[in-house]
């Protein structure tokens, strides 16, 4: 058990560090090839911050641990909105100025409802997974086309401006940026293997399901890059970037992470995933849409709403703990 705990700790430290190197390397490499900042932010950085979830879930599914794969994806979404966005709003209320984010909020809500609908038969087949990946590909293509079609408007969008400022602060030569991209990806794979091994052994030692470990320890661990980037963005006053990190990560998790895991190994899931975890995920996503969209003016997530989000995460975690020690 001690070795497994050490494996989780070491795996998470390397995972977070390598994800940061991978994101920086990929973003700066794209910058060298004159890719518009908004596309770098929504596609490349979005992919990079979700790379830990993607690699961990893919490896878990490959090794026959679908609970970790699914729990990691859905648990990360819940953690991103309730815990990370809640903490970020407590530090600095989030103002939503970006039209790009206003378009993304309803899309994420529809994507989440699609994921919920797929769970009604308690099974994610390869066909379900291919649908998720198809939707994901469509959204990415649409994002790139929109960004290329009107680069002037995109460059003046508050999110695009904030991403451009961040990119200008990173001055790596192309060769070094490519090196960090490759090194970061390789270390992501290695650390994910260590993390999954430790998580499986902890679950077996405690007699709890892989799903619970995926929803809690693994989900929080793989969401640490989003926590760091969102808190730093909020402290700099880059509100749209703080929210963009969460929306992009959740989009990738729901579509690409679950899609890749499902293609590798179709997943039978317990009904509690729909009745408990997916219900919470849908509720949080729809609430984020309502409070963040700004139907009567500028979207805003204030400190009270941030406190409610963090409280929701504490309540959900308590629910998970109760379900482990007081099963029905």
Q: pTM of whole model > 0.75?
A: yes
Q: How far apart are CA 125 and CA 118, in angstroms?
A: 9
The number of distinct structural domains making up the chain is 1
Helix, strand, or coil (residue 179): helix
Q: What is the pLDDT of residues 107-134, one digit of tens each?
A: 999 999 999 999 999 999 999 999 999 9
Q: Per-residue pLDDT tens for 20-54?
A: 787 777 777 777 777 666 666 667 767 777 778 88
Residue 204: count other Cβ atoms within 10 Å of its Cβ: 13
Give the CATH number for residue 118: 1.20.1420.30
The pLDDT confidence band at residue 311, using thresholds 50, 70 and 90, is very high
Domain holding 101, by residue range, is: 2-325
Q: Are 316 and 75 in contact (CB under 8 A)?
A: no
Average pLDDT, rounded, for the chain: 82
Tokens 């991209």 sit on residue: 181
So what's the pLDDT on residue 190?
84
| pLDDT higher than 80, residue 179 | yes
pLDDT digits (tens, 9 = 90+) for 134-176: 999 998 888 777 766 655 555 566 666 666 666 666 777 888 8
Closest CA to 155 of 248, 54, 41, 25: 41
């Amino acid at each position: 058990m001690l070795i497994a705990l050490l494996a989780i700790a070491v795996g998470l430290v390397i995972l977070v560090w390598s994800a940061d190197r991978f994101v920086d390397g990929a973003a700066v490499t794209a910058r060298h090839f004159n890719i518009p900042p908004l596309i770098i932010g929504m596609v490349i950085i979005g992919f990079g911050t979700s790379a830990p979830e993607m690699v961990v879930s893919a490896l878990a599914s490959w090794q026959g641990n679908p609970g970790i794969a699914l729990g990691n994806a859905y648990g990360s979404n819940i953690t991103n909105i309730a815990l990370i966005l809640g903490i970020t709003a407590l530090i600095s209320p989030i103002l939503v100025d970006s039209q790009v984010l206003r378009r993304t909020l309803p899309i994420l809500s529809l994507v989440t409802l699609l994921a919920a609908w797929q769970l009604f038969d308690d099974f994610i087949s390869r066909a379900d997974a291919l649908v998720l990946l198809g939707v994901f590909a469509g959204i990415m293509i649409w994002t790139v086309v929109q960004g290329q079609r009107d680069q002037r408007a995109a460059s003046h969008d508050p999110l695009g401006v904030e991403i451009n400022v961040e990119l200008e602060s990173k001055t790596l030569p192309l060769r070094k940026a490519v090196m960090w991209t490759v090194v970061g990806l390789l270390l992501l794979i290695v650390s994910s293997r260590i993390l999954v091994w430790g998580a499986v052994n902890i679950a077996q030692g405690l007699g709890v399901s892989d799903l619970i470990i995926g929803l809690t320890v693994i989900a929080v661990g793989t969401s640490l890059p989003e926590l760091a980037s969102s808190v730093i963005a909020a402290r700099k006053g880059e509100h749209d970037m703080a929210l963009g990190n969460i929306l992009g990560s959740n989009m990738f998790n729901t579509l690409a992470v679950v899609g890749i895991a499902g293609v590798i190994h179709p997943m039978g899931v317990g009904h509690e995933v729909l009745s408990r975890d997916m219900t919470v995920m849908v509720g949080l996503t729809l609430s984020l849409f309502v409070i963040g969209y700004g139907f009567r003016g500028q979207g805003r997530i204030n400190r009270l709403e941030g406190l409610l989000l963090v409280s929701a995460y504490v309540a959900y975690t308590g629910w998970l703990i109760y379900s482990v020690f007081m099963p029905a």
